[in-house]
Chain A
Amino acid sequence: MAILNVNPTRMELTNLKRKLTTARRGHKLLKDKRDELMRRFMELVRENKALRQKVEAGVREANAHMAVARSTMRDADVQTALMLPMQEMSVSVGEKNVMSVRIPVFETSLKTADAADIYPYGFAFTSMDLDAAVQYISDILPDLMRLAEIEKSCQLMAAEIEKTRRRVNALEHVMIPQYEETIKYITMKLDENERSATTRIMKVKDMLLKEAIARRIEGDPM
C-alpha cells in the first residue's frame, strides 16, 4: 500500500493521527447507516415483490376484459363512455426521511365521496365487460399507488445503499490503511532521526574526549 506523499515531521504526524480518528469514526457511522438501510430495503423490497405480483395479476385481468369490451363495442363508444371520469384523483406528495434518503409519500384523494360510484357511463350502450374492466382497475388502484410509492422508494434506497457501500469500502480498504502506513512511516523516520542524532552526539563527545586526553598528554608529560 502506497503511503501518502508528506514530509516526515511531527506536525504531519499529529495531523494524520487526527485524520485517522475521523476516518475511523466516519467508517463506523457509514457502516451503521449501510446496515440499517439494507435492513429497511429488504423489508420494502419483499413487499414490493408481493405487491407487484398482485397488481400485475389485477391489471392483466382488467386488460383481458377491456380487450373483450373493445371488440364488442365500437371504438368511439368506448372512448365516449370513458371520456368523463366520475372520480378525479388528486395526489399530494409528502416526503419521508429514511436514513437521510428522502422518499416520496403519495396521498391520494378521490373527488367523489362514494367510492362505489365508479362507472362514468350509463349501462345502456356498453358491454358488461367494460364494467368488469373498470371494476378491476378501480379495485387495484390503491395497490397501484402503494406500489408506485414502494417501488420508487426501493429505487432511491438502492442507489443510496450503493453509494454508502462504496464509501465504506473506500474508507476501509484505501483511506484508513493509507493513513496507518503513513503514520507508521513517519514514526519510524522520526525514531531513526533521533537515533542518528544520539549516535552523532556520542561520536562527537568521544572525539572531544580523545582530543582533551591528547592535549593533556602533550602539555603535561609525566
Chain B
Amino acid sequence: MLNNANAPDAGAPFFEQSPNGLKLGVMGDKDSIYGFASVGLNILPADNGAEGTKLLRAVADDYAVIFITEKLAAEMDAELTRYAERPTPALIPIPGVTGNTGLGMRNVSRSVEQAVGSDILKDT
C-alpha cells in the first residue's frame, strides 16, 4: 500500500482499487475535526505536518475525499501537490478552530492562475 502511495504514475489504471467503498475523512488537530465524527466521517488526527504526511501516505488509497484543516495543509503543502494530478483522494482544505487562513481560497486562485496565466477572478 505504501508503494502505491509513493508512486502515483500516470500509466496506472484510473482506480487502483474498486472505486466503491472508498472512505471519507477529516484530518487535522483534534479540536477541529471531532465534530465531523458525528456525521460519519473518519477522523484522522494529526497535529503537525510530519505526522500528517505519514498518515496521509498510509491511508491515501482508501479515501475518496480527505478534508484537511488549513493550518495542517499549510504545513504539508509539498505532500499535497503530489496528489494534485490523481483523481482520488481529493484533498480539500477547510478552516479549523484556529480560524480561516484563506489557504483554501488561495488554492482556488492558484488553479485559475495555472489555467489562465493570471488570476482573472480576483475580488469578484
Residues on A facing B (Cβ under 8 Å): 38, 41, 45-46, 48-49, 52, 55-56, 59-60, 62-63, 66-67, 70, 78-79, 82-83, 85-95, 102-104, 106, 108, 110-111, 118-120, 133-134, 137-138, 141, 144-145, 147-149, 151-152, 154-159, 161-162
A3 to chain B, nearest CB (A): 31
Known contacts A38-B115, A49-B105; A148 and B39 CB within 8 A of each other? no
A177 to chain B, nearest CB (A): 22
CA distance A144 to B24 in the complex (A): 11
Is the Cβ of B95 less than 8 Å from the Cβ of A93? no
Residues on B facing A (Cβ under 8 Å): 14-15, 19-24, 31-32, 34-41, 64-65, 67, 84-85, 87-88, 90, 92, 94-97, 99-100, 104-105, 107-108, 111-112, 114-116, 121, 124
Known contacts A91-B24, A120-B38, A138-B39; A158 and B121 CB within 8 A of each other? no
B78 to chain A, nearest CB (A): 16
Is the Cβ of A156 less than 8 Å from the Cβ of B87? yes
Is the Cβ of A56 less than 8 Å from the Cβ of B15? no
A121 to chain B, nearest CB (A): 8
Is the Cβ of B20 less than 8 Å from the Cβ of A93? yes
6 shortest A-B CB distances, which residue pairs? A152-B90, A89-B40, A158-B115, A158-B111, A161-B115, A148-B65
Known contacts A79-B34, A89-B41; A95 and B14 CB within 8 A of each other? yes
